[in-house]
Amino acid sequence: MPEGGGPIQVFESVCEDPYRVAREAAAGGRSVAGYLCTYTPEELFHAAGCFPVRIFGRDKGATYHADAHLPSFACGFLRSVLDMALAGELDFLEVVVFPHTCDTMQNLAEIWKHSVARIPSITITTPVSVGTEPAVRYFSEEIRRARKALEETVGEVSDSLLMKSIALYGAHRERMHRLYEVRRAHPERLSGRQMMATVIASLLMPREEHLPHLDALLAELGGVSGQTGDDRPTVFVVGNTCHNLDYVSMIEDAGCVVVEDDLCSGYRAFAMAARNERDPIDRLARMYLVGTSCPTKHQPGWDTGKDLVEKAQALRAEGVVFLLTKFCEPWGFDYPHLKEAFEGAGLPTLLAAIECNQPPGESFRGRISAFIEMLQTKS
Protein backbone atom coordinates (compact mmCIF):
# COMPACT_ATOMS: atom_id res chain seq x y z
CA MET A 1 0.00 0.00 0.00
CA PRO A 2 1.49 3.40 -0.92
CA GLU A 3 2.65 5.23 2.17
CA GLY A 4 3.56 8.87 2.62
CA GLY A 5 4.88 10.91 -0.30
CA GLY A 6 4.20 10.34 -3.95
CA PRO A 7 0.96 10.53 -5.93
CA ILE A 8 -1.39 9.51 -3.10
CA GLN A 9 -0.16 12.34 -0.95
CA VAL A 10 -0.80 14.76 -3.80
CA PHE A 11 -4.32 13.42 -4.24
CA GLU A 12 -5.15 13.42 -0.54
CA SER A 13 -3.92 16.97 -0.19
CA VAL A 14 -6.17 18.05 -3.07
CA CYS A 15 -9.15 16.33 -1.43
CA GLU A 16 -8.45 18.01 1.90
CA ASP A 17 -9.10 21.45 0.42
CA PRO A 18 -11.13 20.58 -2.65
CA TYR A 19 -11.19 23.95 -4.39
CA ARG A 20 -7.65 25.07 -3.61
CA VAL A 21 -6.31 24.05 -7.02
CA ALA A 22 -9.15 25.92 -8.71
CA ARG A 23 -8.67 29.00 -6.55
CA GLU A 24 -4.98 29.07 -7.35
CA ALA A 25 -5.65 28.61 -11.05
CA ALA A 26 -8.12 31.50 -11.01
CA ALA A 27 -5.67 33.67 -9.08
CA GLY A 28 -3.10 32.84 -11.73
CA GLY A 29 -5.42 34.17 -14.44
CA ARG A 30 -6.99 30.94 -15.68
CA SER A 31 -10.69 30.74 -16.49
CA VAL A 32 -12.27 28.19 -14.21
CA ALA A 33 -15.55 26.57 -15.26
CA GLY A 34 -17.48 24.81 -12.51
CA TYR A 35 -19.73 21.86 -13.32
CA LEU A 36 -22.08 19.80 -11.20
CA CYS A 37 -22.88 16.58 -12.97
CA THR A 38 -21.12 13.92 -15.00
CA TYR A 39 -23.31 14.66 -18.02
CA THR A 40 -21.36 17.82 -18.79
CA PRO A 41 -19.12 17.86 -21.89
CA GLU A 42 -16.07 19.07 -19.99
CA GLU A 43 -13.93 18.73 -23.11
CA LEU A 44 -15.70 21.72 -24.65
CA PHE A 45 -14.73 23.96 -21.76
CA HIS A 46 -11.24 22.59 -21.72
CA ALA A 47 -10.88 23.36 -25.43
CA ALA A 48 -11.97 26.92 -24.70
CA GLY A 49 -9.00 27.23 -22.38
CA CYS A 50 -10.97 26.79 -19.14
CA PHE A 51 -10.07 24.53 -16.29
CA PRO A 52 -13.28 22.52 -15.77
CA VAL A 53 -13.58 21.70 -12.08
CA ARG A 54 -16.25 19.56 -10.45
CA ILE A 55 -18.17 21.38 -7.75
CA PHE A 56 -19.28 18.97 -5.05
CA GLY A 57 -20.56 21.53 -2.59
CA ARG A 58 -19.38 21.19 0.97
CA ASP A 59 -19.28 18.05 3.06
CA LYS A 60 -20.20 19.63 6.37
CA GLY A 61 -21.71 22.72 7.91
CA ALA A 62 -25.02 24.57 7.81
CA THR A 63 -26.52 26.13 4.71
CA TYR A 64 -28.30 29.21 6.04
CA HIS A 65 -27.81 31.21 2.85
CA ALA A 66 -29.25 28.50 0.64
CA ASP A 67 -32.12 27.83 3.05
CA ALA A 68 -33.60 31.17 1.99
CA HIS A 69 -33.90 29.85 -1.54
CA LEU A 70 -34.47 26.13 -1.21
CA PRO A 71 -36.98 24.28 0.96
CA SER A 72 -35.89 21.43 3.22
CA PHE A 73 -36.75 18.75 0.69
CA ALA A 74 -34.07 19.76 -1.82
CA CYS A 75 -30.95 17.57 -1.69
CA GLY A 76 -28.02 18.51 0.51
CA PHE A 77 -25.58 18.37 -2.40
CA LEU A 78 -27.12 21.17 -4.47
CA ARG A 79 -28.14 23.05 -1.36
CA SER A 80 -24.53 23.23 -0.23
CA VAL A 81 -23.42 24.27 -3.74
CA LEU A 82 -25.87 27.17 -3.70
CA ASP A 83 -24.79 28.04 -0.19
CA MET A 84 -21.15 28.17 -1.21
CA ALA A 85 -22.04 30.44 -4.12
CA LEU A 86 -24.07 32.80 -1.95
CA ALA A 87 -21.37 32.86 0.71
CA GLY A 88 -18.80 33.93 -1.86
CA GLU A 89 -16.86 30.68 -1.71
CA LEU A 90 -17.16 30.03 -5.44
CA ASP A 91 -15.99 33.42 -6.65
CA PHE A 92 -13.04 31.74 -8.32
CA LEU A 93 -15.46 30.48 -10.97
CA GLU A 94 -15.75 32.31 -14.25
CA VAL A 95 -18.83 30.36 -15.18
CA VAL A 96 -21.00 27.56 -13.84
CA VAL A 97 -22.38 24.89 -16.15
CA PHE A 98 -25.83 23.46 -15.55
CA PRO A 99 -26.75 20.29 -17.37
CA HIS A 100 -30.19 18.77 -17.06
CA THR A 101 -29.95 16.21 -14.30
CA CYS A 102 -33.19 16.37 -12.32
CA ASP A 103 -35.96 18.72 -11.20
CA THR A 104 -33.75 20.16 -8.47
CA MET A 105 -30.89 20.88 -10.86
CA GLN A 106 -33.15 22.54 -13.41
CA ASN A 107 -34.73 24.77 -10.79
CA LEU A 108 -31.37 25.54 -9.19
CA ALA A 109 -30.24 26.83 -12.59
CA GLU A 110 -33.18 29.23 -12.48
CA ILE A 111 -32.60 30.27 -8.87
CA TRP A 112 -28.92 30.79 -9.67
CA LYS A 113 -29.72 33.16 -12.52
CA HIS A 114 -31.72 35.35 -10.18
CA SER A 115 -29.68 35.10 -7.00
CA VAL A 116 -26.07 34.50 -7.94
CA ALA A 117 -25.53 37.26 -10.45
CA ARG A 118 -21.81 37.26 -9.60
CA ILE A 119 -21.22 33.94 -11.33
CA PRO A 120 -22.73 33.65 -14.80
CA SER A 121 -24.18 30.33 -15.80
CA ILE A 122 -24.48 28.34 -18.99
CA THR A 123 -27.19 25.74 -19.35
CA ILE A 124 -26.52 22.73 -21.54
CA THR A 125 -29.80 20.88 -21.42
CA THR A 126 -28.80 17.24 -21.56
CA PRO A 127 -31.71 15.13 -22.79
CA VAL A 128 -33.21 12.65 -20.34
CA SER A 129 -33.59 10.12 -23.12
CA VAL A 130 -30.28 8.58 -23.94
CA GLY A 131 -29.21 6.42 -26.83
CA THR A 132 -31.71 7.76 -29.38
CA GLU A 133 -30.84 9.66 -32.56
CA PRO A 134 -33.19 12.60 -31.89
CA ALA A 135 -31.61 12.99 -28.43
CA VAL A 136 -28.13 12.99 -29.94
CA ARG A 137 -29.17 15.61 -32.49
CA TYR A 138 -30.70 17.80 -29.81
CA PHE A 139 -27.72 17.44 -27.48
CA SER A 140 -25.34 18.26 -30.34
CA GLU A 141 -27.29 21.45 -30.87
CA GLU A 142 -27.00 22.31 -27.19
CA ILE A 143 -23.25 21.73 -27.29
CA ARG A 144 -22.96 23.86 -30.43
CA ARG A 145 -24.86 26.63 -28.70
CA ALA A 146 -22.60 26.42 -25.65
CA ARG A 147 -19.56 26.57 -27.91
CA LYS A 148 -20.86 29.75 -29.50
CA ALA A 149 -21.49 31.29 -26.07
CA LEU A 150 -17.95 30.41 -25.01
CA GLU A 151 -16.49 31.84 -28.18
CA GLU A 152 -18.17 35.13 -27.43
CA THR A 153 -16.47 35.39 -24.07
CA VAL A 154 -13.37 33.26 -23.97
CA GLY A 155 -12.20 33.08 -27.56
CA GLU A 156 -12.14 30.65 -30.46
CA VAL A 157 -12.93 27.02 -29.85
CA SER A 158 -11.81 25.36 -33.05
CA ASP A 159 -12.56 21.79 -34.05
CA SER A 160 -8.91 20.92 -33.73
CA LEU A 161 -8.72 22.29 -30.18
CA LEU A 162 -11.83 20.32 -29.35
CA MET A 163 -10.32 17.12 -30.76
CA LYS A 164 -7.18 17.70 -28.70
CA SER A 165 -9.21 18.05 -25.51
CA ILE A 166 -11.26 14.99 -26.35
CA ALA A 167 -8.02 13.06 -26.86
CA LEU A 168 -6.61 14.21 -23.53
CA TYR A 169 -9.72 13.32 -21.59
CA GLY A 170 -9.90 10.01 -23.44
CA ALA A 171 -6.33 9.17 -22.50
CA HIS A 172 -7.05 10.02 -18.89
CA ARG A 173 -10.14 7.84 -18.88
CA GLU A 174 -8.14 4.92 -20.22
CA ARG A 175 -5.72 5.24 -17.31
CA MET A 176 -8.61 5.44 -14.85
CA HIS A 177 -10.06 2.24 -16.30
CA ARG A 178 -6.68 0.62 -15.89
CA LEU A 179 -6.56 1.78 -12.27
CA TYR A 180 -9.99 0.28 -11.61
CA GLU A 181 -8.82 -2.99 -13.20
CA VAL A 182 -5.70 -3.20 -11.08
CA ARG A 183 -7.55 -2.42 -7.89
CA ARG A 184 -10.23 -4.98 -8.65
CA ALA A 185 -7.55 -7.63 -8.85
CA HIS A 186 -5.45 -6.31 -5.96
CA PRO A 187 -7.43 -4.31 -3.44
CA GLU A 188 -4.70 -4.96 -0.90
CA ARG A 189 -2.41 -2.61 -2.84
CA LEU A 190 -4.59 0.48 -2.59
CA SER A 191 -7.12 1.19 0.15
CA GLY A 192 -10.64 2.33 -0.69
CA ARG A 193 -9.80 5.72 0.73
CA GLN A 194 -6.69 6.06 -1.43
CA MET A 195 -8.67 4.96 -4.48
CA MET A 196 -11.38 7.48 -3.77
CA ALA A 197 -8.75 10.18 -3.23
CA THR A 198 -7.31 9.40 -6.66
CA VAL A 199 -10.73 9.55 -8.30
CA ILE A 200 -11.95 12.72 -6.58
CA ALA A 201 -8.65 14.51 -7.09
CA SER A 202 -8.90 13.88 -10.83
CA LEU A 203 -12.15 15.86 -10.85
CA LEU A 204 -10.66 18.70 -8.81
CA MET A 205 -7.44 19.32 -10.72
CA PRO A 206 -6.67 19.79 -14.41
CA ARG A 207 -6.60 16.40 -16.10
CA GLU A 208 -3.17 17.13 -17.57
CA GLU A 209 -1.82 17.74 -14.06
CA HIS A 210 -3.48 14.64 -12.63
CA LEU A 211 -2.25 12.39 -15.44
CA PRO A 212 1.48 12.17 -14.57
CA HIS A 213 0.68 11.40 -10.92
CA LEU A 214 -1.81 8.79 -12.06
CA ASP A 215 0.82 7.20 -14.27
CA ALA A 216 3.26 7.16 -11.35
CA LEU A 217 0.65 5.47 -9.19
CA LEU A 218 -0.10 2.88 -11.86
CA ALA A 219 3.62 2.12 -12.15
CA GLU A 220 3.80 1.61 -8.38
CA LEU A 221 0.76 -0.64 -8.28
CA GLY A 222 1.89 -3.10 -10.88
CA GLY A 223 -0.28 -5.41 -12.91
CA VAL A 224 -3.37 -7.52 -12.43
CA SER A 225 -1.69 -10.91 -12.25
CA GLY A 226 -1.33 -12.87 -9.06
CA GLN A 227 -3.68 -13.73 -6.22
CA THR A 228 -4.91 -11.03 -3.95
CA GLY A 229 -4.63 -12.80 -0.63
CA ASP A 230 -7.07 -10.29 0.81
CA ASP A 231 -9.82 -12.23 2.58
CA ARG A 232 -11.95 -9.39 3.95
CA PRO A 233 -15.57 -9.43 2.83
CA THR A 234 -15.95 -7.46 -0.41
CA VAL A 235 -18.49 -4.71 -0.77
CA PHE A 236 -19.75 -2.97 -3.91
CA VAL A 237 -20.75 0.64 -3.25
CA VAL A 238 -23.36 2.18 -5.53
CA GLY A 239 -24.92 5.60 -5.39
CA ASN A 240 -24.92 9.20 -6.43
CA THR A 241 -22.29 11.68 -5.33
CA CYS A 242 -19.91 11.56 -2.37
CA HIS A 243 -16.63 13.38 -2.14
CA ASN A 244 -15.92 12.92 1.55
CA LEU A 245 -13.22 10.25 1.81
CA ASP A 246 -14.31 9.46 5.38
CA TYR A 247 -17.32 7.60 4.04
CA VAL A 248 -15.18 5.05 2.28
CA SER A 249 -12.76 4.87 5.22
CA MET A 250 -15.58 4.16 7.61
CA ILE A 251 -16.96 1.46 5.38
CA GLU A 252 -13.60 -0.29 5.10
CA ASP A 253 -12.77 0.27 8.79
CA ALA A 254 -15.83 -1.79 9.63
CA GLY A 255 -13.82 -4.73 8.30
CA CYS A 256 -14.38 -5.04 4.58
CA VAL A 257 -12.88 -3.93 1.32
CA VAL A 258 -14.78 -1.69 -1.06
CA VAL A 259 -13.94 -3.66 -4.13
CA GLU A 260 -15.45 -1.10 -6.48
CA ASP A 261 -17.86 1.75 -6.74
CA ASP A 262 -20.64 2.69 -9.13
CA LEU A 263 -20.94 6.28 -8.00
CA CYS A 264 -21.67 9.36 -10.04
CA SER A 265 -18.59 10.92 -8.47
CA GLY A 266 -16.61 7.74 -9.11
CA TYR A 267 -16.77 5.08 -11.76
CA ARG A 268 -19.58 6.72 -13.73
CA ALA A 269 -17.49 9.88 -14.15
CA PHE A 270 -15.22 7.88 -16.44
CA ALA A 271 -17.76 5.60 -18.09
CA MET A 272 -17.82 7.33 -21.49
CA ALA A 273 -16.36 5.09 -24.15
CA ALA A 274 -14.00 6.39 -26.81
CA ARG A 275 -15.62 7.05 -30.18
CA ASN A 276 -14.43 7.84 -33.68
CA GLU A 277 -16.99 10.21 -35.26
CA ARG A 278 -15.20 12.79 -37.37
CA ASP A 279 -17.18 15.77 -36.18
CA PRO A 280 -16.05 16.59 -32.62
CA ILE A 281 -19.49 17.82 -31.53
CA ASP A 282 -21.15 14.67 -32.80
CA ARG A 283 -18.46 12.60 -31.10
CA LEU A 284 -18.94 14.41 -27.79
CA ALA A 285 -22.71 14.11 -27.88
CA ARG A 286 -22.51 10.38 -28.49
CA MET A 287 -19.79 9.82 -25.92
CA TYR A 288 -22.06 11.12 -23.22
CA LEU A 289 -25.39 9.78 -24.43
CA VAL A 290 -24.61 6.37 -25.86
CA GLY A 291 -23.61 3.54 -23.58
CA THR A 292 -23.61 5.52 -20.34
CA SER A 293 -25.98 4.81 -17.50
CA CYS A 294 -27.47 6.80 -14.64
CA PRO A 295 -30.79 6.86 -12.77
CA THR A 296 -31.32 10.39 -14.08
CA LYS A 297 -31.43 9.10 -17.62
CA HIS A 298 -33.96 6.95 -19.42
CA GLN A 299 -33.47 4.33 -22.06
CA PRO A 300 -36.22 1.99 -23.17
CA GLY A 301 -35.48 -1.63 -22.45
CA TRP A 302 -32.78 -0.81 -19.92
CA ASP A 303 -32.40 -3.29 -17.14
CA THR A 304 -30.06 -1.51 -14.80
CA GLY A 305 -30.76 -4.08 -12.10
CA LYS A 306 -29.49 -6.91 -14.27
CA ASP A 307 -26.44 -4.88 -15.33
CA LEU A 308 -25.45 -4.01 -11.79
CA VAL A 309 -26.00 -7.54 -10.53
CA GLU A 310 -23.79 -8.89 -13.31
CA LYS A 311 -21.13 -6.37 -12.37
CA ALA A 312 -21.36 -7.25 -8.67
CA GLN A 313 -21.05 -10.93 -9.54
CA ALA A 314 -18.06 -10.30 -11.81
CA LEU A 315 -16.46 -8.45 -8.93
CA ARG A 316 -17.31 -11.32 -6.59
CA ALA A 317 -18.80 -8.79 -4.21
CA GLU A 318 -20.41 -10.23 -1.09
CA GLY A 319 -22.57 -7.28 -0.23
CA VAL A 320 -23.83 -4.02 -1.70
CA VAL A 321 -23.94 -0.65 0.03
CA PHE A 322 -26.22 2.01 -1.42
CA LEU A 323 -24.53 5.31 -0.55
CA LEU A 324 -27.28 7.81 -1.31
CA THR A 325 -27.71 11.50 -0.77
CA LYS A 326 -31.12 11.99 0.78
CA PHE A 327 -33.85 13.65 -1.28
CA CYS A 328 -32.52 12.30 -4.55
CA GLU A 329 -35.69 11.46 -6.44
CA PRO A 330 -34.15 9.46 -9.33
CA TRP A 331 -32.22 7.21 -6.95
CA GLY A 332 -35.16 6.95 -4.59
CA PHE A 333 -37.22 5.30 -7.32
CA ASP A 334 -34.43 3.01 -8.49
CA TYR A 335 -33.44 1.83 -5.02
CA PRO A 336 -36.33 -0.64 -4.48
CA HIS A 337 -35.90 -2.57 -7.72
CA LEU A 338 -32.11 -2.55 -7.51
CA LYS A 339 -32.28 -3.81 -3.93
CA GLU A 340 -34.63 -6.55 -5.07
CA ALA A 341 -32.31 -7.47 -7.94
CA PHE A 342 -29.25 -7.70 -5.71
CA GLU A 343 -31.01 -9.61 -2.95
CA GLY A 344 -32.62 -11.87 -5.50
CA ALA A 345 -29.10 -12.76 -6.60
CA GLY A 346 -28.12 -13.54 -3.02
CA LEU A 347 -26.37 -10.24 -2.29
CA PRO A 348 -27.32 -8.55 1.00
CA THR A 349 -27.72 -4.78 0.73
CA LEU A 350 -27.50 -1.81 3.06
CA LEU A 351 -28.98 1.62 2.53
CA ALA A 352 -26.70 4.31 3.97
CA ALA A 353 -28.04 7.81 3.51
CA ILE A 354 -25.95 10.96 3.37
CA GLU A 355 -28.00 13.70 4.97
CA CYS A 356 -27.62 17.43 4.55
CA ASN A 357 -24.18 16.81 3.13
CA GLN A 358 -22.85 16.02 6.59
CA PRO A 359 -19.86 13.82 7.36
CA PRO A 360 -20.50 10.25 8.48
CA GLY A 361 -21.33 9.92 12.17
CA GLU A 362 -22.22 7.28 14.70
CA SER A 363 -25.41 6.41 12.93
CA PHE A 364 -23.52 5.60 9.73
CA ARG A 365 -20.84 3.71 11.61
CA GLY A 366 -23.42 1.63 13.47
CA ARG A 367 -25.22 0.64 10.32
CA ILE A 368 -22.14 -0.25 8.32
CA SER A 369 -20.66 -2.20 11.26
CA ALA A 370 -23.86 -4.18 11.70
CA PHE A 371 -23.91 -4.91 7.98
CA ILE A 372 -20.30 -6.12 7.90
CA GLU A 373 -20.92 -8.25 10.99
CA MET A 374 -23.80 -9.78 9.05
CA LEU A 375 -21.55 -10.51 6.06
CA GLN A 376 -18.82 -11.94 8.28
CA THR A 377 -21.25 -14.32 9.93
CA LYS A 378 -22.55 -15.37 6.53
CA SER A 379 -19.07 -16.27 5.24
Partner 1 sequence: MYYIGIDVGSANTKAVLINENGAVAAYVIVPSGVGLLSAARRVLDEALARAGVDWDQVAAVVSTGYGREIVPNKTKAVTEITCHGRGAFALFPHTRTVIDIGGQDSKAIALSVTGAVAGFEMNDKCAAGTGRFLEVMARALEVGLDRMGPVALTSERPAVISSTCTVFAETEVVSLLAQGVAPSAIVAGLCNAVADRVHGLVARIGVRAEVTMTGGVSKNTAVVKAMERILGVSANVPEEPLIVGALGAALIARELGLKQAT
Partner 2 sequence: MGGPRIPIKTTDTLHKLMFKHYVEAKMAGQSGQKVAWVTSGAPVELLRAAGIIPVYPENHAALCGAQRQGPHYCAVAEERGFSMDLCSYARTDLGCVFAGDSPIGGLPKPDLLLCCNNICGTVTKWYEELARQFGAPLVYIDTPFQHGDVDEHAIAYVHAQIEAAVQTIGEVAGVPFAPERLLETVRLSARATALWREVLEQCAHRPSPMTSFDAFAHMAPIVTLRGAQECIDYYEALLTEIKQRVKDGVAAVLEERYRLGWDNIPIWFKLGALAKRFAQHGACLVIATYTDAWAMQMSLDTPDGVLRELARVYTTVYINCGMRKRLSVLLGMVEKYSLDGIILHSNRSCKAYSLGQYDIARLLQEEHGVPCLIIEGDMNDSRAYAEEPVNNRIDAFMEQLARR
Task: Give residues in contact with partner 2 (CB under 8 A).
Answer: 68-71, 73-74, 100, 102-104, 106-111, 113-115, 123, 125, 127-129, 132, 134-135, 137-138, 141-142, 295-296, 298, 300, 326-327, 329-330, 332-337, 339-340
Q: Which stretch binds partner 1 (CB under 8 A): 9-17, 39-47, 229-237, 359-367?
A: 359-367
Q: Which stretch binds partner 1 (CB under 8 A): 89-97, 108-116, 127-135, 362-370?
A: 362-370
Nearer Cβ to partner 2, position 190 or 320?
Answer: 320
Nearer Cβ to partner 1, position 170 or 255?
Answer: 255
Instruction: Choose, by CB under 8 A, the member of 16, 314, 378, 379 that binds partner 1.
Output: 378
Nearer Cβ to partner 1, position 152 or 231?
Answer: 231
Which residues have CB under 8 Å from 290's CB, separation 6+?
130, 131, 136, 273, 275
Q: Nearest approach, Cβ of 277 to partner 2 (angstroms)?
A: 19
Residues binding partner 1: number (CB under 8 A): 12
Report what 80 binds from partner 1, partner 2, none; CB cut-off 5-8 Å by kind: none
Q: How many other CB atoms sit within 10 Å of the CB of residue 196?
A: 28
Nearer Cβ to partner 2, position 82 or 157?
Answer: 82
Contact status: 232 vs partner 1 (CB under 8 A): no
Contact status: 355 vs partner 1 (CB under 8 A): yes
SS (HEC) of the chain: CCCCCHHHHHHHHHHHCCCHHHHHHHHCCCEEEEECCCCCCHHHHHHCCEEEEECCCCCCCCCHHHHCCCCCCCCHHHHHHHHHHHCCCCCCCCEEEEECCCHHHHHHHHHHHHHCCCCCEEEECCCCECCCHHHHHHHHHHHHHHHHHHHHHCCCCCHHHHHHHHHHHHHHHHHHHHHHHHHHHCHHHCCHHHHHHHHHHHHHCCHHHHHHHHHHHHHHHCCCCCCCCCCCCEEEEEECCCCCHHHHHHHHHCCCEEEEEEECCCHHHHCCCCCCCCCHHHHHHHHHHCCCCCCCCECCCCCHHHHHHHHHHHCCCCEEEEEEECCCHHHHHHHHHHHHHHHHCCCCEEEEEECCCCCCCHHHHHHHHHHHHHHHHHC
Contact status: 379 vs partner 1 (CB under 8 A): no
- Residue whose C-alpha is closest to residue 75's, from 357, 363, 360: 357
Tell me, what amino acid is at 53?
A: V
Instruction: Choose, by CB under 8 A, the member of 72, 225, 227, 377 that binds partner 1.
Output: 377
Q: Nearest approach, Cβ of 371 to partner 1 (angstroms)?
A: 8
Instruction: Choose, by CB under 8 A, the member of 23, 147, 210, 367 that binds partner 1.
Output: 367
Q: Nearest approach, Cβ of 309 to partner 1 (angstroms)?
A: 18
Strand partners, 95: 33
Contact status: 366 vs partner 1 (CB under 8 A): yes
Q: Nearest approach, Cβ of 67 to partner 1 (angstroms)?
A: 18
Instruction: Choose, by CB under 8 A, the member of 88, 151, 370, 379 that binds partner 1.
Output: 370
Angle formed at CA 292 by CA 295 and CA 264, multiple of 5 degrees: 55
Contact status: 362 vs partner 1 (CB under 8 A): yes
Report what 373 binds from partner 1, partner 2, none; CB cut-off 5-8 Å by kind: partner 1
> Residues 312 to 351: which contact partner 1 by CB under 8 A?
348
Contact status: 305 vs partner 1 (CB under 8 A): no
Nearer Cβ to partner 2, position 19 or 77?
Answer: 77
Which residue ranges make up the site for partner 1 (CB under 8 A)? Answer: 348, 355, 362-363, 366-367, 369-370, 373-374, 377-378
